[in-house]
């Protein structure tokens, strides 16, 4: 039985009745689609799952009122509703495992307000990262969270995304000030204000961030912006071994050098990236780094890191000071996933996402690398190592059940190791479908019971993205 | 009717039965007290409320198991349980408005683990800020959250505290990694790990931080530490008017200068502080600042701030580079509250806590100052102005109902103004007893209904610190 077949086995599909389908068609006209191609597009993401049921229809929302009406219609029929942003989940968040309706938010793509004087921006959920980047050009401000994919900001909130800049600027948790949310009852609430801090009641903003669309649908987000640093410099540094690269990263963090990015790519993955992005990076374990600050601050940081790297046998830094060179470098890094897939046509990548305290990173990463090497399974390995977070992508032939089992077993052992070392099964991808057992191992029955109690009280009919994070019953 | 009489009017006291009292005495022996002096100590805090019922008894917990047993005993009798840390709440959090048992956590004062290599510490809830400071001496690390009072860390978690360093290091929300919590059912859960980031299910850590003891009792906290900066410098700068001081602070933030502290004290409050702390600060509106970084970084920051202050008519900086001088300065700042009380013997201070987007700070603060000046009511004014957060302390004679009414009316108008300007009624003190109406104004019925739903599902018999934040029914 394949991974996704297992995931879906215990969940009954809740069919939309002809009455609901007619009501949605009447309300949304051409913005409600039941075309197979549209449903297929909304029934797949970047996860390894390929055989979940398709959603029965797709609503294209353009306003909070559209979301409210959709929630009320499906709610009256107790049919699942799955919010859809850019489709870049790697954990099956978008899959209609219990059937139902997909709610496409990509047309809610307006930037509602930029307040440069307060360094905040308010966006609709369908605004993508690159769109926000573009809108902020010339403002002297930027939004730092960069998960690689051109994700929607609503999706990034819902997943608790982070990425390469988190080591310096934090994750979505630290950068979402307030949300507008449509509840499972079709009510619109606001979870915060534009003030930098607040102690006004329960922190509903953080409850929603990372709730994976299961507690409410994010219809608006107010985010923190950061000043574009006076000076930015990027560098790559190659090492003789993975161990040396990892230990350099650990020491940089322990010395509290405020690097903006410090990313690990193993030799095998550098090779795939070179092919995919037509680069000629040395095919050795590598750290990609970025330094932000005043001109003198950047120089100070870079010198300190170079000294540490040298002690660990690192080669001389190769610099990318021009914006265009930096862009190429980071694009190549972000395409590691696609480079890996391309290197093994037809395969799917099962991505791991453990994150451990920095002092345990070398142990966790090196033992796990030895384990995967011993199996002979192809993989890529990249890491936001400054946070103690790294991703293996095990490359499996979806038809080969032995490979699936191997990948699952590797992931099991990796997660068990990370938890034992004081870490988490997911630094930034979320629980989705596949990590529900790991969540239990990590958080314990009591914590998951508390999450379930909150879900059941806020969404008693299990309408919102059911089947994700934990079992409802 | 006095403020606190009003607060308590609608809440029925739930008496502990003789059976419960006997069971607590049997379980805790000399660590369960019904002495009036002990109950009085646990039935008052630093808020203006003076006539709430006293708790019927006080349990002194020494372990998580003690908390569990207490929760189970009071839970079986559906009697309120009020966690007590250092008693430094200014919002009535500790008051037994519905009767019940106070749970004193001050003897749970062990620092369980310091992980310098990961910059984390795990503490019991009764550890105070100053105790943690002491324990970290020589480690090269510090815990930045400094609410002024020598609060307990459990209390700081429960309140979502912040203080003078938040402008640079964030609030408790950004500095709590994980909690151990005893639920209303007497179960022990863990809300996170020591990893720097996680997307593993609902963010129970942030749900508990700021929940004011109403959702669970914090029995252990894992906190982020920060490296002691290579260089620290503090300075005061006096201005001809409040307007100039506030606008200097605003511009410093808008220029993204990473000040570690930037505090406003008005002339009237400087005068009180001088008397209380035997200082000779110029009796003019003043900014107290601190700069953290490398030696050159601190100099860069200080020069940039001085240039801005000069444009706004600020006097030359007076420096405090020695640790002892800085300590005196910040102690004096932290004692502003006591200095004010001392200046008006017998009075109580009603403290406001609004926080607005930085661009609206001058408008909010200056209009509100004009309003209080027009009444002739004595007050102090201090502000964490880098965050847009400031506190008036209206000094009222508790017997003078006209003064109470004046203070309440000023606070009403201040909060309405802050909310209109995109801000919050409480930046760091919490809702407690007095701000429940403001929470409704700010968050709206829908958000408060969601909070209430969470409370009712996690604590169905309303055992944990009832009567705080919002009405249960």
| pLDDT tens per residue across span B104-115 | 999 999 999 999
Four-residue CA torsion sign, A266, A267, A268, A269 = positive
pLDDT for residue A1 is more than 50: no
pLDDT in tens, B192-205: 999 999 999 999 99
pLDDT in tens, A404-447: 999 999 999 999 999 999 999 999 999 999 899 999 999 999 99
d(CA A57, CA A241): 51
Residues 6+ apart with CB under 8 A from A229: A260, A292, A293, A294, A298
Residues 11-70 of B with CB under 8 A from A: none
Percentage above 70 pLDDT, chain B: 98
Q: Please tell me which of the candidates A197, A210, A423 has its beta carbon nearest to residue B162.
A: A197
Report long-range pairs for A319-325 (Cβ below 8 Å, ≥24 apart). Answer: A319/A233, A319/A234, A319/A235, A320/A233, A320/A234, A320/A235, A320/A236, A321/A232, A321/A233, A321/A234, A323/A232, A325/A234
pLDDT in tens, B432-472: 998 999 999 999 999 999 999 999 999 999 999 999 999 99
Percentage above 90 pLDDT, chain B: 90
d(CA A255, CA B323): 23
Q: What is chain B's alpha carbon radius of gyration, rounded to the nearest angstrom?
A: 22
Q: In what order do the strands lie in the sheet with A101-104?
A: A32-33, A57-60, A101-104, A81-84
Contact B93, B213 (CB under 8 A): yes
For residue A388, the distance in angstroms to the closest alpha carbon of chain B comes to 7
pLDDT in tens, A191-242: 999 999 999 999 999 999 999 999 999 999 999 999 999 999 999 999 999 9
Averaged pLDDT of chain A:
95
pLDDT at A4: 45
Nearest CA in chain A to B257: A227
pLDDT for residue A9 is more than 50: no
Encoded tokens for B55: 């708790």
pLDDT-based confidence at residue B3 (cuts at 50, 70, 90): very low
Nearest CA in chain A to B429: A199
d(CA B219, CA B182): 7
pLDDT at B12: 85
Other Cβ atoms less than 10 A from the Cβ of B2: the count is 15
Contact B472, B466 (CB under 8 A): yes
* Paired sense of beta strands A101-104 and A81-84, if any: parallel
B258 has a chain A CB within 8 A of its CB: no
pLDDT at A274: 95
d(CA B366, CA A448): 48
pLDDT-based confidence at residue A398 (cuts at 50, 70, 90): confident
pLDDT for residue A116 is more than 60: yes
A139 has a chain B CB within 8 A of its CB: no
Q: Please tell me which of the candidates A204, A422, A443 has its beta carbon nearest to residue B447.
A: A204
d(CA B54, CA B47): 15
CB contact under 8 A, B201 and A470: yes
pLDDT-based confidence at residue A455 (cuts at 50, 70, 90): very high
B3-107 CATH pick, 3.30.43.10, 3.20.20.140, 3.40.830.10, 1.10.3470.10: 3.30.43.10
pLDDT at A248: 98
Nearest CA in chain B to A253: B118
pLDDT at B291: 97
pLDDT at B420: 98
Size of interface A-B (CB pairs under 8 A): 261
Lowest mean pLDDT: which of A304-313, B127-136, B137-146, B315-324? B315-324
pLDDT in tens, B397-445: 989 999 999 999 999 999 999 999 999 999 999 999 989 999 999 999 9
Residues 6+ apart with CB under 8 A from B95: B4, B43, B44, B45, B47, B49, B52, B82, B433
Tell me what the mean pLDDT of segment B309-334 comes to: 91
Tell me what the mean pLDDT of segment B187-216 comes to: 98
CB contact under 8 A, A357 and B387: no
Residue numbers in B near A198 (CB within 8 A): 160, 355, 424, 426-427
Hey, do B111-227 and B231-420 end up sharing a CATH topology, with the first three levels equal?
Answer: no
* Paired sense of beta strands B81-84 and B101-104, if any: parallel
Residue numbers in B near A358 (CB within 8 A): 117-118, 196
* Paired sense of beta strands B57-60 and B101-104, if any: parallel
pLDDT-based confidence at residue A48 (cuts at 50, 70, 90): confident
pLDDT in tens, B11-69: 689 999 999 999 999 999 999 999 999 999 999 988 887 778 999 999 999 999 999 99
Other Cβ atoms less than 10 A from the Cβ of A311: the count is 12
In CATH, the number for domain B231-420 is 3.40.462.10
For residue B33, the distance in angstroms to the closest alpha carbon of chain A comes to 31
Tokens 């499972």 sit on residue? A184
Q: Please tell me which of the candidates B183, B189, B444 has its beta carbon nearest to residue A190.
A: B444
Tokens 């001496």 sit on residue? B137
Q: Please tell me which of the candidates A199, A254, A457 has its beta carbon nearest to residue B426.
A: A199
Residues 362-401 of A with CB under 8 A from B: 387-389
Q: In A76-175, at which residue ranges do the beta strands (DSSP E only) sit?
A: 81-84, 101-104, 111-115, 120-123, 141-142
Residue A33 main-chain phi, psi, to 5 deg = -120, 140
pLDDT at A51: 79
Q: What 3-state class would DSSP assign to A381?
A: strand
pLDDT at B11: 65
d(CA A254, CA B142): 14
Nearest to B450 by CA among A198, A173, A188: A188
pLDDT for residue A155 is more than 50: yes
CB contact under 8 A, B201 and A443: yes
Nearest CA in chain A to B230: A256
Four-residue CA torsion sign, B128, B131, B135, B139 = positive
Residue numbers in B near A188 (CB within 8 A): 446
ipTM of the complex: 0.96
pLDDT in tens, B336-346: 999 999 999 99
pLDDT at A7: 52
B287 has a chain A CB within 8 A of its CB: no
Tell me what the mean pLDDT of segment A339-355 comes to: 94
Tell me the longest C-alpha to C-alpha distance in chain A.
Answer: 70
Residues 401-420 of A with CB under 8 A from B: 418-419
For residue A189, the distance in angstroms to the closest alpha carbon of chain B comes to 6
CB contact under 8 A, B200 and A424: yes
Contact A463, A455 (CB under 8 A): no
For residue A280, the distance in angstroms to the closest alpha carbon of chain B comes to 33
Percentage above 70 pLDDT, chain A: 98
pLDDT for residue B371 is more than 60: yes
d(CA A285, CA A238): 6
For residue B450, the distance in angstroms to the closest alpha carbon of chain A comes to 7
pLDDT for residue B6 is more than 70: no
Q: What is the DSSP letter of A424?
A: B
- Whether domain B111-227 has CATH 3.30.930.10: no
B295 has a chain A CB within 8 A of its CB: no
- The span from the first CA to the last CA of chain B, in angstroms, equals 24
CB contact under 8 A, B469 and A203: no
Q: Please tell me which of the candidates A358, A426, A443 has its beta carbon nearest to residue B118.
A: A358
CB contact under 8 A, A203 and B173: yes
- For the ranges A326-335, B177-186, B320-329, the one whose mean pLDDT is highest: B177-186
Tokens 């979940």 sit on residue? A52
pLDDT at A5: 43
Residue numbers in B near A428 (CB within 8 A): 197, 199
Residues 6+ apart with CB under 8 A from A450: B183, B189, B202, B204, B458
d(CA A410, CA A416): 10
Domain ranges in chain A are 3-107, 111-227, 231-420
pLDDT at A11: 66
């Amino acid at each position: 039985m394949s991974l996704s077949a297992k995931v879906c086995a215990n969940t009954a599909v809740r069919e939309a009745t002809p009455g609901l389908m007619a009501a949605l068609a009447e309300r949304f006209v051409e913005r409600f689609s039941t075309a197979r191609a549209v449903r297929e597009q909304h029934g797949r993401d970047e996860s390894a799952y390929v055989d979940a049921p398709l959603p029965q229809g797709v609503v294209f929302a353009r306003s909070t009122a559209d979301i409210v009406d959709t929630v009320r219609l499906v709610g009256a029929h107790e049919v699942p509703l799955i919010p859809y942003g850019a489709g870049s989940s790697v954990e099956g968040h978008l899959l209609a495992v219990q059937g139902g309706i997909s709610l496409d938010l990509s047309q809610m793509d307006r930037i509602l307000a930029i307040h440069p004087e307060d360094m905040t921006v308010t966006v609709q959920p369908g605004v993508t990262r690159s769109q926000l980047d573009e809108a902020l050009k010339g403002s002297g401000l930027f939004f730092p969270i960069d998960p690689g994919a051109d994700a929607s900001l609503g999706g990034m909130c819902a997943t608790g995304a982070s990425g390469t800049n988190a080591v310096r600027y934090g994750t979505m948790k630290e950068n979402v000030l307030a949300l507008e949310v449509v509840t499972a009852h079709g009510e619109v609430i606001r979870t915060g204000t534009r003030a930098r801090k607040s102690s006004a009641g329960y922190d509903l903003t953080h409850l929603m961030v990372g709730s994976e669309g299961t507690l409410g649908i994010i219809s608006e987000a107010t985010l923190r912006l950061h000043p574009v640093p006076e000076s930015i410099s990027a560098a790559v540094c190659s090492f003789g071994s993975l161990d040396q690269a990892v230990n350099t990263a650990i020491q940089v963090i322990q010395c509290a050098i405020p690097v903006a990015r410090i990313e690990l790519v193993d030799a095998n993955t550098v090779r795939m990236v070179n092919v995919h992005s037509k680069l000629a990076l040395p095919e050795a374990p590598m750290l990609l780094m970025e330094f932000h600050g005043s001109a003198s601050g950047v120089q100070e940081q870079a010198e300190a890191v170079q000294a540490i790297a040298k002690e660990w046998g690192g080669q001389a830094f190769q610099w990318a000071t021009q914006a265009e060179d930096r862009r190429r470098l980071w694009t190549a890094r972000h395409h590691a996933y696609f480079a890996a897939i391309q290197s093994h046509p037809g395969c799917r990548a099962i991505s791991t996402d453990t994150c451990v305290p920095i002092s345990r990173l070398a142990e966790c990463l090196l033992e796990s690398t030895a384990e995967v090497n011993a199996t002979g399974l192809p993989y890529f390995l990249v890491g936001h190592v400054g946070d103690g977070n790294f991703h293996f992508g095990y490359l499996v032939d979806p038809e080969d059940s032995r490979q699936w089992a191997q990948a699952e077993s590797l992931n099991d052992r990796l997660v068990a190791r990370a938890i034992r070392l004081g870490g988490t099964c997911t630094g930034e991808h979320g629980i989705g479908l596949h990590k529900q057992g790991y969540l239990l191992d990590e958080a314990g029955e009591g914590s998951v019971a508390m999450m379930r109690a909150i879900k059941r009280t806020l969404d008693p009919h299990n309408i919102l993205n059911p089947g994700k994070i934990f079992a409802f019953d």
